[in-house]
């Protein structure tokens, strides 16, 4: 049993409401999250079928969050389409979230033009990041830049976008470190070096698992799988989070085939018990990894 002194180091696990968009009310989402054993919900503030219309965030988000919290669940994070300070509805979204004591949100994503030098493209991002950081400071918000693998994705190598972020306060801008994508991008354990290098800027983490497989055409592709069935080293990841004293939001992205829930659909083609059962198993696998290093 954990004692009172170390209880604060426990990490809670959120479900991502993108995978529950086939449930439309806050009560339905909250009941599903509780049934699956999650501690909270990352709420999508995106156009339909997102749960909250960005154009109506001030009207819709407060009641949605209040209802979810009434079920004993946390709401620490929202997912929205903010890339820059002048993205549509950005200030209204951040103001509303801050008033609800929500201080983290998904941010991104920037892409490279591979026909041009990389350095100048990163330099060109600095004023854009600076403007967003200033807006975040105004509302006490932290933008979490979601990391993706891929040759066009800024941040896929971590070190590239870290060179931009390090000029700003990590309380305002940081990474949403996706261990699935970062294992793909940083093979042979390079993801671990990258995680430690960016430690001060790891604002939140997203957890999913994958395998590489060869297609009939002889090409390699990524296939997302339930947690514990792929090449992501969950226990090593959990140990690294403990080592860097990570204390931000944690969520699971269930992007493997699951009746349409994986693709943010507003209906599912598999039985509810099967869809929720798969995501519940993910939660149990991740919580088991966190428990082994004393983070749950």
Q: How many domains does the chain have?
A: 1
Instruction: Choose between 227 and 6: higher pLDDT.
Output: 227
Residue range(s) defining the domain that contains residue 201: 7-292
250 within a domain of the structure (yes/no): yes
- The answer as to whether 1 is a domain residue is no
Which three-class secondary structure string do you get for 190-211? HHHHHHHHCHHHEEEEEECEEE
**Residue 206 confidence (pLDDT) above 80:** yes
Measured distance CA(238)–CA(161) in Å, rounded: 23
> What pLDDT, on the 0 to 100 scale, is given for residue 9?
75
Per residue in 261-293, pLDDT (tens digit) is 999 999 999 999 999 999 999 999 999 999 999
Say yes or no to pLDDT of 6 above 80. Answer: no
* pLDDT attached to residue 108: 87
Tokens of 260: 């349409």
**Which CATH number fits the domain that encloses residue 285?**
3.20.20.150
pLDDT of res. 71: 98
Average pLDDT, stretch 232-251? Answer: 98
Residue 119 lies in a domain: yes
Residue 140 domain-assigned? yes
Instruction: Express each pLDDT in 85-133 by its tens digit.
Output: 999 999 999 999 999 999 999 998 999 999 999 999 999 999 999 999 9
The pLDDT value given to residue 219: 93
Which pLDDT score, from 0 to 100, does residue 84 have? 98
Mean local confidence (pLDDT), 79-85: 97
| The predicted structure's pLDDT at residue 64 | 98
Mean pLDDT on 197-209 = 98
Q: Summarize the confidence of residues 154-169 as an average pLDDT.
A: 98
Tell me: the pLDDT tens digits for 32-65?
Answer: 999 999 999 999 999 999 999 999 999 999 999 9
Contact 174, 144 (CB under 8 A): yes
User: Does residue 2 lie in a domain region?
Assistant: no
């Amino acid at each position: 049993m954990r004692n009172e002194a170390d209880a604060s180091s426990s990490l809670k696990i959120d479900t991502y409401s993108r995978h529950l968009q086939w449930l439309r009310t806050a009560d339905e989402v909250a009941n599903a999250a509780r049934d699956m054993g999650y501690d909270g919900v990352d709420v999508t503030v995106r156009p339909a079928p997102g749960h909250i219309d960005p154009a109506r965030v001030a009207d819709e988000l407060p009641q949605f969050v209040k209802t979810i919290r009434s079920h004993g669940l946390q709401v620490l994070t929202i997912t929205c389409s903010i890339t820059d300070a002048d993205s549509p509805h950005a200030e209204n979204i951040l103001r509303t979230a801050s008033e609800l004591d929500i201080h983290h949100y998904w941010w991104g994503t920037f892409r490279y033009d591979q026909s041009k030098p990389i350095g100048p493209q990163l330099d060109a991002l600095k004023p854009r990041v600076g403007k967003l950081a200033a807006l975040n400071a105004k509302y006490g918000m932290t933008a979490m830049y979601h990391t993706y693998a891929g040759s066009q994705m800024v941040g896929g190598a971590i070190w590239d976008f870290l060179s931009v972020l390090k000029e700003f306060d990590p309380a305002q801008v940081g990474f949403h470190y996706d261990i699935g994508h970062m294992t793909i991008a940083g093979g042979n354990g390079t993801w671990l070096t990258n995680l430690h290098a960016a430690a001060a800027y790891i604002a939140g983490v997203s957890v999913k698992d994958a395998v590489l497989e060869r297609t009939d055409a002889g090409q390699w592709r990524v296939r997302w799988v339930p947690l514990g069935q792929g090449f992501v080293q969950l226990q090593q990841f959990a140990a690294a989070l403990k080592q860097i004293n990570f204390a931000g939001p944690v969520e699971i992205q269930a992007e493997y085939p699951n009746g349409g829930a994986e693709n943010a659909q507003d209906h599912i083609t598999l039985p509810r018990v099967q869809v929720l059962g798969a995501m519940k198993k993910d939660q149990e696998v991740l919580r088991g990894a966190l428990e082994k290093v004393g983070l749950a």
